[in-house]
Amino acid sequence: MQLPIWFLVNIFVIRGIGNMTNLSVIFRIEPCGGVMAVFPSIPADYHGSMLCYAHIGQHSGCSESYYQKTKPAAPDQYASLLVELRGIYENEHYGEPVKLVVRNRRTSKDNAAFIAETCRIANA
C-alpha cells in the first residue's frame, strides 16, 4: 500500500522525528533539464523513494537510481524553486513551519532520519 505524498509530508512535518525544526533539501538538475528539490530525510513510499518537488508536478517520489542520474543545481538555477518551497514549508498556514536547509549532498543524519521515518510509517 502506498500512502499519498501529502499524508507523508504532513505526518513527518507535524509530528516530526524528535523536535525537528530544520528540513534538508537538495536541488538537482534532472536529465530533461528541469530543476527538482529532493528531501533526503522524507520517504515518498515504502520502496525507498525520497520525496521530491518540482514546479510542474509538485510533490512526488524520486528513486535512488533516478537521483543518481541527476546533477547538482547551482543557486541561480534553483532560486525560484526555493522561494516556492519556502512559501509552503516555512508558512504556518500549512502546518507547523520548518526551516529549509539547502545542502549539497545527503548527510548521515538525513539517512538515519529517512530510515527511521520509513520504519515508523510502515508500522503505523
Predicted structure pTM score: 0.81
CB within 8 Å of 36: residues ≥ 6 apart: 27, 28, 29, 30, 52, 53, 54, 62, 70, 81
Q: What is the average per-residue pLDDT within 75-94? A: 88
Segment 33-69, tens digit of pLDDT: 999 999 999 999 878 899 999 998 889 999 999 999 9
What's the pLDDT band for 93 if we cut at 50, 70, 90? low
Q: Which amino acid is at 73?
A: A
Domain boundaries, the chain: 5-122
DSSP character string of the chain: ----HHHHHHHHHHH-SSS--EEEEEEEE-TTS-EEEEEEEEESSTTSPEEEEETTTEEEEE-HHHHHT-EEPPHHHHHHHHHHHHHHHT-GGGSS--EEEEESS--HHHHHHHHHHHHHHHT-
Work out the percent of the chain whose per-residue pLDDT is above 90: 56
The reported pLDDT for the residue numbered 68 is 95
Higher pLDDT, 73 or 8: 73
Higher pLDDT, 16 or 88: 88
